[in-house]
Structure 1
């Protein structure tokens, strides 16, 4: 993630009707935190997902992320996405129940000494059930199995409102805040028009 930005001056800044603006918080941990107990698993498992097909990967990505306006992997060129998900330094895990994929975890070790928690998401049916703790415990375990000095993630206010506090409870500490402005993917057809109803589309008169 490119974090080389110029600070905005104080005050209000107009955003075009076709664009979205969000506050991004970057967090990191520089040592493995104390373990946290798993809640009851209720039949959930977390399994390494080797060489997912593009269609299967994008289907899960949309399932867990579309209502939070995840768009990057949905529209990425096939060759660019394959280069990531087939890279041996990228580890992908799926949360499973009865053979169905209900959660996505992606760990990126491509930068030496670091791990990025690239994607972390659950099907809406699992939010608030404790499944997030199960998935995060796997993320922390797998990240710190490697010789890293830093495990990091970024979240924004378009994500679930509990996401930032959850990352902090998991041992991540905030170190940078940014404003990101990007094209509203619902207005370009990249995501369905009724996605993320908690964040309304602006319509020009």
Structure 2
């Protein structure tokens, strides 16, 4: 089950302390191997798979586009969070990927990164920022996005093959999600 959320203006900034040792680092023309490694570190337990199926040329065309911004949340120099904003359509700007590795969940780093994401998104003249999340993502995701100022506007059912079954995701990943 996918939930679609949007916002049309920057909500009032929240006073969120920067967690110790954390920084948001932009990666222009991100290296594909580095990106896929971070994508796995953040999303494998939630069965993120779409970018793992992409051919290098297709992924590079997205990540190296002048209107796509990829940033890593680092802690003590290690990339542990992924923020990707797609401005290719300023009327429908997408928060494409947003997530943290396990060790940062619950530390306030996600709230801090969301405030930076909203700053980055709304410093451009966009009409709408949208994101989608699904029931395979963290159970806190929908509530987090709503508390961040997003408003749900739709739901849909998407059917996919389990990416752990002869796919790009480790067979033992996401043990909390039954294999189908």
Which of the five TM-score ranges fits, normalised by the shorter chain?
over 0.9
> CA separation in 2, counterparts of 1:180 and 1:92?
26
Structure-to-structure mapping, 1:133-148, within 5 angstroms: 133-148=111-126
**8 Å contact from structure 1 (residues 39, 133) kept in 2:** no
Stretches of 4+ moved more than 6 A in 1? none
Contact 1:186–1:195 (8 Å) recurs in 2:
yes
Aligned-CA RMSD value: 0.9
- Alignment: residue pair count: 180
Q: Which residue of 2 aligns with 1:171?
A: 149
TM-score calculated relative to the size of structure 1: 0.86
Counterpart Cα distance in 2 of 1:177 and 1:114:
17
Larger Rg: 1
CA–CA separation in structure 2 for the residues paired with 1:121 and 1:64: 6
Cα separation, 2, equivalents of 1:88 and 1:121: 22
Q: Of the candidates 23, 46, 61, which is equivalent to residue 83 of structure 1?
A: 61
- 1:62 is displaced (CA, Å) by 0.3
- Equivalent residues of 2:2, 2:156 under 8 A apart: yes
CA contact (8 A) 1:28 1:150 kept: yes
Find the counterpart in structure 1 of residue 106 from structure 2: 128
Q: Which residue of 2 aligns with 1:14?
A: none
CA distance, structure 2, for counterparts of residue 53 and residue 150 of structure 1: 28
Matched residue SS, 1:135: helix
Structure 2: stretches of 5+ with no match in the other structure: none
TM-score by length of 2: 0.97
Deviation at 1:31, TM superposition (A): 1.1
Equivalent residue runs for 1:1-205 within 5 Å = 23-202=1-180
